[in-house]
Amino acid sequence: MSGIQLVLLTGVAFISLYFIIQLKKRLLDIILLVILIACAALFIVWPDITNKIARLLGVGRGADLVFYVSILIFWFVVLKLFARIRRLEQAFTEFIRHDAVKNAKDHTQPGSTEIKSHAS
């Protein structure tokens, strides 16, 4: 197994683990952001580092390595947004259910302003 395969599989494993656990704390997000910013700054200031790391991992060029890692980051962000949308949908559904039950109870109380039909 080449180095890049190991890196990519490890990245997939960490992303999967992150979403299985569904951490409520934002500390992990902050740590990941700091690491991403530090790597970006490092690779911008010294671009030859990407080529050296790529050769160590069995990738031809540093640009290819950055592309592969970007794909992992992209999927992490997509899955994170998907999880957030699902949580919002569930919260919205619960709110609507609660409101519907409350309104149904209010209309069945004595003295409510129901419209009564008159049968002739």
Amino acid at 63: A
pTM above 0.75, yes or no: no
User: Tens digits of per-residue pLDDT, 39-93?
Assistant: 888 888 888 999 999 999 898 899 899 899 899 889 988 988 998 899 999 999 9
The answer to whether 58 and 3 are in contact (CB under 8 A) is yes
User: Tens digits of per-residue pLDDT, 83-92?
Assistant: 889 999 999 9
Cβ contacts of residue 70 below 8 Å, gap of 6+? none
The residues spanned by each domain of the chain are 3-79
Helices 27-45 and 62-108, interaxial angle, to 10°?
150
